[in-house]
Amino acid sequence: MSRTGTDVQTTEPTSPERDAVRPSWRAGVLSAVFISLLVIPAGLTYYFLVLGPPETGYEQLTIGLLAMLPGFAMGGAGLLVAALD
C-alpha cells in the first residue's frame, strides 16, 4: 500500500512535545520574578540594616552589582521566553 499526501502525519504546533517544554520555561520566568521582586531587595535591606552602609569602594561595587541583579534576571527571563516561544 502506498502512502498518499493525505495520510502522512504532521506535527501540529500544539503537539505534546511542544507542550512538554512550556512548564520548564514558565518555572524559570516565575523564579526570575520571585528573585527580582523579593529575594534581592530583602537581601539588600538586610545588608543595610545589619551591616550599615558600605564604606569601601569594593563594598560599594558589590552592592551595585547586587542591585543590578533583578534587571539581569528579568532580562534573562525575557530572552528565555522570546527564544522558546
What are the boundaries of each domain within the chain? Answer: 22-84
Query: What pTM was estimated for this model as a whole?
Result: 0.52
Residue range 33-68, pLDDT digits in tens: 888 888 888 888 888 889 888 888 888 888 888 888
Mean pLDDT on 11-39:
70
Burial class (CB in 10 A: 0-12, 13-18, 19+), 73: buried
Residue range 50-59, pLDDT digits in tens: 988 888 888 8
Residue 29: pLDDT band with limits 50, 70, 90: confident
Biggest alpha carbon distance in the chain? 81
Mean pLDDT on 16-31:
68
